[in-house]
Amino acid sequence: MLDHGAPPELRAFEQGELAVVPSYQPLWVASHFGHFNIVRLLVSRGASPNTGCLAGFPWAEAFRKGHMEIFNYFLEGKEGGFDSEGGKEEGKEDGEQQQSITWQIQFDAGRNGVTSLHDACRRGNIELVQFLLSKGMQVKQEPGSAEKPHFPLNLASSRGAKLELVKLLVEAGAEVNMANLKGSTPLHRASKMNIIDVAEYLIQQGADVNIDVSPSSQKKRPGTPLCQAATPDMIRLLMHHGAKLAWDGQAAGPLCRAVDSTKLENVKCLISEFNADPNEGIGTSSSPLWAAVRSATTSASLRSVYEKLKSLDPKSDTPLLDLPSTTESKKEEQPMGKELEMIQFLVESGADVNQCDAENNTPLVFIISCFDKSEFAGRDRSWSQKQIEAAAEKMAQRHALLEYLADKFIDFGADVNKPGLSGTTPLQQVLHNAQCFFVLIMSLSLGFKTDEASNHVDVDGRDTANRRTRKRRKGKRRGGRGRRGEESKKGKS
């Protein structure tokens, strides 16, 4: 293929204002699989060991895979001429001196601020990190920028982190409190990945358990390491070393973050063992109860509850439609999703079930306001009868589950007369929803003809074809566009 014009090395190309780097280079692939002859052939045809790709650099991949013959060849930096047939290079006469190719490995080369040291730390390759440090690469860097968004210690403290590698970087001078562009420090990453031994070592080396760095971009603030804690054991470790539960009045606190992540065990640990306040952030969007309510009203959460309820009666497509007629004992037996368990635990721990959010809404009014027609969003004349019926079925299931959630909130003690946004009470919100749905439900219950071209209804159940016909007739009567419309206007004037 090389003899017929195939390039030995792929070049980055521009796509708009961005330079797109190839995912793989032929030399990297040959180094990955240990094909020494192919490596030499590619180098003799112009491929450079210093040309990287998204997968990394050829010499680093050879080291990582243990192909030391290829790695030492790259370090030697010399190719005296190679022929795939094993003889003299094609085109050379006997006794003619072959032209040699030399190079020098650039250990600190990288792409978008990511060098081989970063890649080795991310992969947990201790031997390669030791080699690169012996070649003079530095782990102590300046604060993150667009050119250097990551730091070796941050990457080494993430998923699959090895304590030995973290110790090696810290002893080499890595800063334990250095945050990346997202505002995350090594302790943030270790807390999020639940790497207890690494987190404990970082704290012993001076990592701040209450550090809270704002991200350089418009991304969500990570909060303190306690906000990122993955398990109760990590929470206990951080609290033992002085982590604070106090909410700063801006971003969500540790308790609200745990609720938002639907980590019920973490919520129970924070409240039961460390007396976290379930009413923190009332009047804002950072309240634990409001985080649970918003999570419970998402379609994914409602679907999980629906599947659990359907397991009680596999023959029913809408297991909650008959819920109001069930007895109280049967209601208590209904299984709840993790979000509903979260709400119940927060209420039992003292959360105000009638608290308002930043828009002065109550949870009950907000739940009722979710009775919308989102399944019919974007509908046009191309919808068939089957599509309409499927959307109506999905809407009926979602509304039944929302009804179940509202019923639970009333059981928890929600005030059915407390107004929400714009002074709307729960009953007024129900009446508003009923008025919007009346035409749609009546249209679906009466049924449609199968002729898609002549019978299509809009979201409110009105026949769009007939409505357009009425508009055209109305425009003609009033004197629409054209000569007839102008003559009628002149006559009227």
Nearest alpha-carbon partner for 75 in 107, 46, 42: 107
Residue 339 lies in a domain: yes
The mean predicted confidence, pLDDT, of the chain is 75
Three state DSSP letters for 74-123 = HHHCEECCCCCCCCCCCCCCCCCCCCCEECCCCCCCEECCEEHHHHHHHH
Q: Which domain holds residue 411?
A: 288-443
Number of domains in the chain: 3
256-286 confidence digits (pLDDT tens): 889 988 889 999 999 999 999 998 887 776 7
Q: What's residue 465's pLDDT?
A: 45
The CATH number of whichever domain residue 1 belongs to comes to 1.25.40.20
Evaluate whether residue 241 is within a structural domain.
no
Q: What is the pLDDT of residue 193?
A: 92
Is 260 in contact with 291 (CB distance < 8 Å)? yes
pLDDT band at 362 (very low <50, low <70, confident <90, very high): confident
Residue 369 and residue 402 in one domain: yes
pLDDT in tens, 475-491: 555 555 544 444 444 55
Q: Are residues 311 and 429 in the same domain?
A: yes
Within a domain: 449: no
What is the distance in angstroms between the CA of the first residue and the CA of the last residue of the chain? 84
Domain assignment of residue 462, yes or no: no
Distance CA 29, CA 71 (A): 14
Structural domain contains residue 282: no
Residues 6+ apart with CB under 8 A from 493: none
pLDDT of 432 higher than 80:
no
User: What mean pLDDT do residues 315-326 have?
Assistant: 42
Q: What is the pLDDT of residue 143?
A: 57
Structure tokens at 166: 């973290």
| 119 compared with 421, residue with greater pLDDT | 119
Handedness of CA 18, 27, 77, 65 (dihedral sign): positive
Q: Based on the fold, state whether residues 201 and 310 are members of the same structural domain.
A: no
Any domain includes 429: yes
Q: Does the pLDDT at position 204 exceed 90?
A: yes
Would you call 461 helix, strand, or coil by DSSP? coil
Answer yes or no: do 297 and 435 share one domain. yes
pLDDT for 356? 84
The residues near 461 (Cβ < 8 Å, ≥ 6 apart) are: 439, 440, 441, 442, 443, 444
Q: Which residue has the higher pLDDT, 54 or 443?
A: 54
Query: 122 falls in which pLDDT band (50, 70, 90)?
Result: confident
Please tell me the predicted confidence (pLDDT) of residue 241.
94
CA–CA separation, 133 and 56 (whole Å): 18
Mean pLDDT of 59-67: 88
